[in-house]
Amino acid sequence: MAADLSPIDKAKFLAAKRATDFVEDGMKLGLGTGSTAAWMVRCLAERIREEGLRVVGVPTSSRTAQLATQLGVPITTLDEAKWLDLTIDGADEFDGNLNLIKGGGAALLQEKIVATASDQMIVIADAAKDVTQLGAFPLPVEVIPFGWQTTKALVEETLVSLDVLNRDVTLRMNGAAPLVTDESNYILDLHLKRIGNPRQLALVLNQIPGVVENGLFIDICDIVVIGHADGRVTVRDVNSGEIEEDRVEFVPTSNIFADLD
């Protein structure tokens, strides 16, 4: 199975594997959502199996909860855990200040609550997510279904006075019906192409009635771990300014891939 990984999956796996080095015995962890975060859950499960690592995770989606349970990673709720040591999650884009766009997997609301309730957030990503300016990836905004078309119109009107390049807003679909999040909401995708002032945009969007949360994570992420398909892994710490590069061994026979067979 491992030998069949695409270069992008290999990069995601390496980032996830390196990030799990930050996990210490006894930690309470936020478990992100998405394909990169799924690798992280697999790497964590391997450390639990092989080292007897004791951790408990708070999943950020029903998908992650299901995967963690399937792989034997103990989980709990945020209300039980109250505060977390570390959250490890993927991202759709990150910039030089480690501000993020998240929500490509429609889990931004739980992801933001969980990351904010953590001492530290580590983002794991392949190098394609590294951007000089956020906005090429459509910005997800979670809205309540009641009056969503009015909320969409208000979002479009608000964008007129903001520093963005484009203002198309679309409702995310799941086949013929609107996609419904774990919190029973809808997602609007804002096709902005370039976000000049992410901090201002994040604040203004959350003032609109009907908007529950937006996918801009500002000053939440501390470290990004970037995987490269050639085996290199870059660790960038926004607080210390340090950038480290090393190699992570890719072990094709690892039983980490067992659930994918």
Q: Is 111 a catalytic residue?
A: yes
- Please report, for residues 40, 89, 249, 251, 252, the alpha-carbon distance to residue 3 in angstroms, rounded to integers and kept in the order given: 18, 24, 14, 9, 6
Provide the minimum distance between the beta carbon of 129 and ligand 5RP in the complex, in angstroms, as a whole number: 7
Q: What is the three-class DSSP state of 185?
A: coil
| 94 Cα distance to chain centroid | 10
Q: Cα(90)–Cα(80) distance, rounded to whole angstroms?
A: 24
Cβ closest to ligand 5RP, residue 124 vs residue 154: 124
Provide the minimum distance between the beta carbon of 52 and ligand 5RP in the complex, in angstroms, as a whole number: 28
Cβ closest to ligand 5RP, residue 91 vs residue 201: 91
Provide the minimum distance between the beta carbon of 25 and ligand 5RP in the complex, in angstroms, as a whole number: 26
Q: Which residue among 46, 93, 111, 213 is the active-site one? A: 111
What are the two backbone dihedrals, phi and then psi, of residue 19, each rounded to the nearest 5 degrees? -65, -30
Q: Cα(197)–Cα(202) distance, rounded to whole angstroms?
A: 9
104 is a contact residue toward ligand 5RP (CB under 6 A): yes
Cβ closest to ligand 5RP, residue 140 vs residue 210: 140
5 is a contact residue toward ligand 5RP (CB under 6 A): no
Among 92, 142, 189, 222, indicate the residue that binds ligand 5RP (CB under 6 A): 92
57 is a contact residue toward ligand 5RP (CB under 6 A): no
102 is a contact residue toward ligand 5RP (CB under 6 A): yes
Residue 108, burial from CB neighbour count under 10 angstroms (0-12, 13-18, 19+): buried
138 is a contact residue toward ligand 5RP (CB under 6 A): no
- Please report, for residues 13, 198, 225, the alpha-carbon distance to residue 22 in angstroms, rounded to integers and kept in the order given: 15, 28, 11
For residue 225, the tally of other CB atoms under 10 A from its CB is 26
**Assigned token pair, 72:** 């034997």
Among 46, 89, 93, 189, indicate the residue that binds ligand 5RP (CB under 6 A): 89
Residues at the interface with ligand 5RP (CB under 6 A) = 32-37, 89-92, 102-108, 111
Active-site positions read 111
